[in-house]
């Protein structure tokens, strides 16, 4: 996702702008979904990212500060994701030549070792009570 002075750019075109518009090009934002600004993952990404990650004033979550429509804007991770899904919906509708009303989004449940360990512990705990 990249933001210009007058437009937002998504997909390959946005990736192509990484070198010329680095401060307004956001990548890897899905890792921050549902995390508070003070989360260690957010803090690490804020420290190493070329784009600006700030605390969103209303949600206390991660916000991305970009220049869009000639002013500084702060978008939440959820807003950026919604922009991406809107573009994906439009692309799908063009490809299948029909309106898209519903979709299924899959999310990996074991994105890290810690998440996998928690999932396994939960499954074992549930199995213990089913006996």
Is there a domain that residue 111 lies in? no
Q: Is residue 126 part of a domain?
A: no
104 CB burial (10 A radius; 0-12, 13-18, 19+) = exposed
Q: Which of the pair, 113 or 43, is modelled with greater confidence?
A: 43
pLDDT in tens, 45-69: 999 999 999 999 888 889 999 999 8
Tell me, yes or no, whether 124 lies in a domain: no
Q: Give the domain range for residue 73.
A: 2-100
Asked if residue 65 is part of any domain, the answer here is: yes
Q: What is the 3-state secondary structure (H, E, C) of 57-73?
A: CCCCEEEEEEEECCEEE
The pLDDT tens digits for 99-128 are 988 877 765 655 666 666 666 666 666 555
Global confidence as pTM: 0.73
């Amino acid at each position: 996702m990249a933001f210009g002075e007058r437009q937002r750019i998504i997909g390959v075109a946005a990736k192509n702008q990484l070198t010329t518009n680095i401060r307004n090009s956001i990548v890897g934002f899905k890792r921050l979904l549902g995390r508070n600004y003070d989360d260690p993952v957010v803090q690490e990404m804020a420290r190493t990212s070329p784009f600006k990650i700030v605390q969103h004033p209303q949600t206390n979550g991660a916000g991305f500060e970009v220049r869009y429509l000639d002013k500084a804007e702060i978008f939440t991770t959820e807003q950026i994701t919604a922009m991406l899904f809107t573009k994906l919906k439009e692309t799908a509708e063009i490809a299948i030549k029909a309106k898209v009303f519903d979709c299924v989004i899959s999310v990996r449940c074991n994105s890290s070792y810690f998440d996998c360990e928690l999932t396994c512990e939960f499954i074992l705990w549930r199995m213990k009570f089913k006996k």
